[in-house]
Amino acid sequence: MKIVSTINEVREQVKEWKKEGNTIGFVPTMGYLHEGHASLIDAARKNNGKVVVSIFVNPIQFGPNEDLDSYPRDLEHDEKLCEEHGVDLIFHPTPEEMYGDNFYTFVDMDVLTKELCGLSRPVHFRGVCTVVSKLFNIVTPDNAYFGQKDAQQLAIIKRMVKDLNMPLSIHGCPIIREEDGLAKSSRNTYLSPEERKAALVLSRSVFLGEKMVKEGERDCKKVIAAMTEEIEKEPLAKIDYVKIVDLSTMQQIDTIEHGILAAMAVYIGKTRLIDNFMIED
């Protein structure tokens, strides 16, 4: 496994691999890797000749007063996990390598970014789209892998690739959960023992809403009300949003007729956590 920090090193290595006839699988991450990331790497490993993982805490997707400086980092752990799961190359650039001086160009998207996390984090998806498009240009993968836990991000990346005619396939992979149901997240490390227990209210609410829909409930307001009521039973929980949106447009709907995403963001203490369930067409 190679670890590189410059764009030129990545391009030279990928060019060599492609000459040998390898397909390239790519997993972009912000590091502090866990079993959720490992599942993405395993999917990439299964279906590609070579696997590249980027580890980069992207400063332009963090707004003022968000957790850029405190975002967990552990490169030694990340390298070990990547090696154990068969990664061929880690790209670990600095912000200066990615953005340089006087960086002016951003990738901005309308509609899909205006709801859910885009409402409460207005600069977030511009930063995500910009860094992911840059990484796609650098790595030139055939396939890229993203987790369903960040379902809005997954939908946005799929749309960006389609709209901009990028020559790769985007693969969504299922949410990986702890044994007690909590969705795996690097931010779970912020939680105190009491908050960690309280955070289970997210998955309980998700499972409740999913059960209602699978049993035939089609009124979004009723599903949202039940999920909200469940969350509000937890004193440490503060809701950012609980919404049901059309899976293709990320716009709120009243009645479930086609594919939907039921998503939430909830503060447990000072830590903002997300979870969701998806019903596809």
Active-site positions read 37
Q: Which residue in 116, 151, 97, 105 sits closest to 224, CA to CA?
A: 116
Can you read off the two tokens belonging to residue 122? 């207005």
Q: CA separation (Å) from 148 to 24, 100, 175, 205, 240?
A: 21, 31, 5, 17, 19
On the 0-12 / 13-18 / 19+ scale of CB atoms within 10 A, 264 is: buried
The residue behind tokens 């200066």 is 96
Query: b or e along 131-148 (b: 16 or more beta carbons within 10 Å of the residue's beta carbon)?
Result: bbbbbbebbbbbbbbbbb
How far is CA 279 from its chain centroid? 18
